Structure 1
Amino acid sequence: MSADPVAGDPDGIQRIARRHEDRSDAVRDGARHVLVAAEHAASGWAGRAQQQFLVAAAAMPASAHRVAARLDAASAALATYARQVREIQDDAASLQTTRRNTADDIAANDRAIRDATAVASGPDAVESDRALLQQLQHSGEWLAGLDARLSAQWDELVARRAAADRAAAAALEDRSVLGKLVSAAVVSAMSDGQFLTWLATLDPESIAALGGDSRVVKRLAGIDAAQVAGWWQAMSGVDGAPSAAQRAFVAAMPAVIGNLNGVASWARARANTTVLADRLAHARRQVRHWRELHDAARNPADAAAAREQLLVWERQRDAYRNIQDTLATTPVSLVALVDDRPPLAQIVAGDLDRAMHVSVIVPGMNTATYQDGTVQDYSAIARGMRREEARVAGIRRSDIAVVSWIGYHPPMADDPSFRTVLADDRARAGAERLVADLDGFHAARAAAGRDADLTVMGHSYGTTVATIALTKTHADHVVLLGSAGVTDAVPNASALHVPEGQVFATQGAKDGWAVTGQNLSGRRDPTESTWDAHEFSSETEGRGSDTLHGVTRHGPYDGDDDDGRYSYFDDGTTAQHNAARAAMGHGDEIPERGGPFDRMRQQTKDDWLMYGWQTGGTGDPTL
């Protein structure tokens, strides 16, 4: 906007006003069509999808009315502004003509005065010459006064235009148009608490408008989980039911909400479903792009550069596809999806918002979402552990949730990071992520007023991650399976923020890789008596149909046990059974055995030369 009285295009402003009016009519028509569709849906089909549609349709009229009213308000403000600009421009055009004519008159009068002065000053001057000069001088004074009055009138037009500009700006920034949205400067001056309070006052339409504001999105993503949890819970409906505002945040900012600690898991899962589809499509486009560049490369350097990017994006595509396939084929949800290289994910079996017992499984080395079978296996691991926990505790499965936390980058066997299994850097980085997620879980549950019994289960290198994390956050139980070793930062079980007697550890006698990781890294074996965990056996127990199978390999999951090979999280193993008992508060019933000496006796019994144990030949390189 400009204070220049003749600036602007009132016809163009009026066209914008009419477009807003047309859009308002379209919104109201759309709402009517939705209501008609809802009437047909009420009798046309049944099921959960129908109910969700009817709920959304029921909210449509009020939402549409708010949007249409804002469009109407904007249209009215623009129409008023267009009329005022046109009136000011008309007055300015008339005044400009008068000022030009006055300026011409002043110039002509000045010339006449100069001529009359010369005549009146001459030797032949008469009285009439002096009278004419005086008359011209009086005319000059009158014209100067007129010019001053015209200048004042122009200043008044400038003031009128400035006032019209301010009024239009105020009208377009009014809540009748913008709702409760405020300027970026106001937002940046808010504290985190004020920022969240402001967000909580917004209606769904205003929230939708914020989705494209990167500053707001970035600000929300960086807020402490405890504050986020309080904000999210305050927007909830009765007994934590999803509200219209919460659904609007999920739709407007899915990439943030999907990973925002403190937000309810139902919302994160819904957001991540949307984000997953978008990222898979993007990865597929990138694969096509880099393959085309690779095929069109004119020299080895360009081909190598394109090939490097192609491999990156093929892994991204495979990861997102694995996650999507898992969600499509198994009853699990996705409560975190980090767009990293490769992507990180958290797969949940059960209702993480309401379950009374929650277990978080931390994987070990050689775990990545792009690998064939990994995400699917960890879905099976979570579901199998949930079934076993419900069985050993004699409670409903709905009271239990199990998270497969593929939330960090462990050492990988297929790249140079393999050697980092002997170091602790990746474990410390993973522990930081795990602490943040566990604290977020605690914050969300505290805000909702729903306590939960939390167990952390680590496998292999995941035990290194879990034990470091539990020196900084807390859990009710921890189970360490086939540990690659515990760092010096955790000298014994009492260093963990876990109740006394609730730290459990096991290692299979035929697991050659766990002891290899411990010995080469110099980390502690948590089944040693001096570390003071409750060690338990992972060997075969029972007979016939009551047999619990012993661990025969180091990997987390074998699934198909036709070949007699069993891993720690396989169904029907002693390791899974005892881990479930520990998680459900029955750990004191687990016999304390399976320490280093017990394993050595078992090893010599099974293989008196201990060839497999010494070489790790009975296991696989999955630390």
Structure 2
Amino acid sequence: MTSVFTDAAPRSTPRLNLAGGGEAAFSLGSSWSLPSLSLPTWVHRPISAARATLVKSLVMTIAIAAILAGVVTVTQTSTAGATAISAADFAPAASSVPTMTAAAFTTAYAGDLAAAATALTTMSSSQVAQLWSELAPGYRALLITGHPAVIGNLEGVAYTDRATANVSRLAGLLADTEASYRSLTVSSDQVDGQADSAALATTLSRLDAIKLLADRYTPDAIAARLQPEYLITLQAGGSGPPRVAVAVGDVDTAAYVTVFVPGMNSSALELDDYLRGAKRIQTAAADSAVILWIGGHSPSALEVPSNDRAVEGAPLLAGVLAGYDAVRSAHGVVSQLSVVAHSYGTATASLALASGDYHVDDFVMLGSAGIPTEIGIDDLHVPAGRVYASQASADTLAGLGQLLSGRADPATSSWGATTFGSDGLTLGDGGHLGAVDGHNAVGSSNTDDRGKYLGPATESLYAIQRIVTGQADAVADLTTPGSSHQRASAPDAAGAGAGASTTSTTASASASAAALLATR
């Protein structure tokens, strides 16, 4: 790739070895900062999911109004005086250590599991995947038990093993965070009778997130789940909610794997909400899996016009894609890999995809807040004709994000993506797919999910389910670049080819919509 991305903020963070596990920490300079806020004493009280969604919407509205009114200024990216960052800077770092056989590895680190775990973090994800598949089960179990923070976050390790390691850490993390919270309140009371509200709020958000994870992954909860879940990333460094990734379905063996990248204000605190959307995608095929990736620091509403968070998250996401590609290669798994991104997540995902060829088959953008203008469709390393975009007519915030940031709208014909509808569709048999009525991917509850991009029985979810399982031709409302807006032809049940009529296309599509409609 020849294009470069530039950012006005100075940066000193080195490239990350994304094959390495453990509690990686990083920080990037920001082109602006917010004033310190003194939070009210009731900040520690829990609020309902619905109220949390309302608060986030209110904050976003105020933030956008402040930007438009000039009260808050956002530094746009500029090539003037900036350090150029090439797409290669987002790619996983190459390994500098020789490849070892399992026998050589266990001999070299006999009796020293700590050194063995450290050695694994210096390897590329391809080296890790091959070595991990060859290690004896008992030796792998020792590494999982002895060094779960490393193994649980190590790209190339089998995903079920990573989940085992990460879940084993939750009780300890919860106890440590509860102790930190108590210590903070006690020490503050001894000083002036009032806790430091900012530190209290940060610690509380961390406590709430870890408790949510601990409750979700108890043995009983895991056993009762119809759709299996795996906590495949648990980066708990720092003071706020941990950065996580959760797989719905067995990523190690799935024939169809989708990585979903949400947008602004997404964190482990919203895990329940985003997982509902991920699960709806996964129901498209029994042998599919969806990775919900909340592994970066998503932007606040005021940060959306800046590319900083996308630049920060792109190498982490690239590592995830490279890691999966390594695992399936090491195990001889033939699969379709798709990336679905929403809102600001489309900027992060586009930068990650531009960093290298991870053999991604499809890229779907929903309500994009804009793609950095230095990234074109040909930079994404995705097969021609398999980059998709959709923006609902009622989604005004996506366009506002593009406007304020100066980023490109991938849903325009000039950008080159194949588009599909999100405004509702009546199928040939009279069945109806709902319209997306705003910007959100999901709501605050199953009921509130209706009318969202990943909500039940929406046209957008219908299209996504088919794209990520190799059935894009069955989507009844595709528009390819340079064509007029018309429904695409698709094979009917008898195998009719591209010459099938629109009526037969929508009728056959509606036949496969029954499963989708049943997810309501």
Name the structure 1 match of 2:178.
284
Name the structure 2 match of 1:425.
308
Match of 1:582 among 456, 462, 467: 467
Shift of 1:346: 0.6
Which residue identity does 2:419 align to in structure 1? E
Name the structure 1 match of 2:329.
446
Name the structure 2 match of 1:402.
290
How do 1:170-249 residues align onto structure 2 when only pairs under 5 Å count?
Answer: 191-193=97-99, 198-201=104-107, 210-211=112-113, 213=114, 216-235=116-135, 243-249=137-143
Which residue identity does 1:224 align to in structure 2? S
Q: 2:470 and 2:139 mapped to 1: Cα distance?
A: 38
CA pair 333-386 structure 1, distance change in 2 beyond 3 A? same
Which residue identity does 1:228 align to in structure 2? V
Name the structure 1 match of 2:478.
592
Name the structure 1 match of 2:442.
557
Using the aligned pairs only, state the percent identity: 32
Match of 2:236 among 304, 314, 339: 339
Name the structure 2 match of 1:181.
none
Over residues 235-294 of structure 1, what are the superposed CA-to-partner deviations in whole Å (9 max), with x where a residue is unaligned?
A: 25xxxxxx1111121111111000000000010000000112211121111111111112
Give the secondary-structure state (helix, strand or coil) at the position aligned to 1:336.
strand
Is 2:261 the counterpart of 1:351?
no
More helix by share: 1
Q: 2:479 and 2:275 mapped to 1: Cα distance?
A: 30
Give the secondary-structure state (helix, strand or coil) at the position aligned to 1:470.
helix
CA pair 198-292 structure 1, distance change in 2 beyond 3 A? farther
Name the structure 2 match of 1:500.
384
Shift of 1:296: 1.5
Match of 1:469 among 352, 357, 363: 352
Match of 2:200 among 304, 310, 326: 310
Gaps of 5+ in 2: 1-95, 486-520
Which residue identity does 1:248 align to in structure 2? L
Give the secondary-structure state (helix, strand or coil) at the position aligned to 2:425.
coil
CA pair 477-285 structure 1, distance change in 2 beyond 3 A? same
Which residue identity does 1:355 align to in structure 2? A
Name the structure 1 match of 2:162.
268
Q: 2:297 and 2:104 mapped to 1: Cα distance?
A: 37
CA pair 191-464 structure 1, distance change in 2 beyond 3 A? closer
Is 2:282 the counterpart of 1:386?
yes
Q: 1:545 and 1:274 mapped to 2: Cα distance?
A: 50
CA pair 561-279 structure 1, distance change in 2 beyond 3 A? closer
Shift of 1:353: 0.3
Which residue identity does 2:406 align to in structure 1? G
Which residue identity does 2:414 align to in structure 1? T
Give the secondary-structure state (helix, strand or coil) at the position aligned to 1:572.
coil
Name the structure 2 match of 1:5.
none
Q: Is the 8 A contact 2:450 2:456 kept in 1?
A: no
CA pair 273-545 structure 1, distance change in 2 beyond 3 A? farther
CA pair 197-431 structure 1, distance change in 2 beyond 3 A? farther
Give the secondary-structure state (helix, strand or coil) at the position aligned to 2:99.
helix
Give the secondary-structure state (helix, strand or coil) at the position aligned to 1:434.
helix
Q: 2:149 and 2:205 mapped to 1: Cα distance?
A: 20
Shift of 1:230: 1.3
Q: Is the 8 A contact 1:258 1:272 kept in 2?
A: yes
Q: 2:214 and 2:385 mapped to 1: Cα distance?
A: 40
CA pair 470-542 structure 1, distance change in 2 beyond 3 A? same
CA pair 368-594 structure 1, distance change in 2 beyond 3 A? farther
More strand by share: 2
Q: 2:122 and 2:431 mapped to 1: Cα distance?
A: 51
Which residue identity does 1:193 align to in structure 2? T
Shift of 1:196: 6.8
Is 2:364 the counterpart of 1:479?
yes
CA pair 470-547 structure 1, distance change in 2 beyond 3 A? same
Shift of 1:332: 1.2
Q: 1:545 and 1:199 mapped to 2: Cα distance?
A: 62
Q: Is the 8 A contact 1:291 1:307 kept in 2?
A: no
Q: Is the 8 A contact 2:259 2:339 kept in 1?
A: yes
Deviates further, 575-584 or 254-263: 575-584
Name the structure 2 match of 1:435.
318
Name the structure 1 match of 2:54.
none
CA pair 517-572 structure 1, distance change in 2 beyond 3 A? same
Q: Is the 8 A contact 2:100 2:131 kept in 1?
A: no
Give the secondary-structure state (helix, strand or coil) at the position aligned to 1:549.
strand
Output the aligned Cα RMSD: 2.7
Q: 2:146 and 2:479 mapped to 1: Cα distance?
A: 53
Name the structure 2 match of 1:534.
418
Match of 1:364 among 258, 263, 267: 263
Shift of 1:352: 0.6
Is 2:189 the counterpart of 1:295?
yes
Give the secondary-structure state (helix, strand or coil) at the position aligned to 1:466.
helix
Give the secondary-structure state (helix, strand or coil) at the position aligned to 1:259.
coil
Shift of 1:365: 0.4
How do 1:56-71 residues align onto structure 2 when only pairs under 5 Å count?
Answer: none
Ranked by relative contact order (alpha carbons within 8 Å, sequence separation 6 or more), the top structure is: 2
Shift of 1:312: 2.6
Give the secondary-structure state (helix, strand or coil) at the position aligned to 1:429.
helix
CA pair 564-411 structure 1, distance change in 2 beyond 3 A? closer
Q: 1:366 and 1:467 mapped to 2: Cα distance?
A: 19
Shift of 1:307: 4.2
How do 1:27-106 residues align onto structure 2 when only pairs under 5 Å count?
Answer: none
Give the secondary-structure state (helix, strand or coil) at the position aligned to 2:173.
helix
Shift of 1:459: 0.3
Shift of 1:197: 5.4
Q: Is the 8 A contact 2:262 2:341 kept in 1?
A: yes
Q: 2:410 and 2:102 mapped to 1: Cα distance?
A: 44
Shift of 1:311: 2.7
Over residues 141-169 of structure 1, what are the superposed CA-to-partner deviations in whole Å (9 max), with x where a residue is unaligned?
A: xxxxxxxxxxxxxxxxxxxxxxxxxxxxx
Shift of 1:561: 6.8
Q: 1:545 and 1:296 mapped to 2: Cα distance?
A: 68
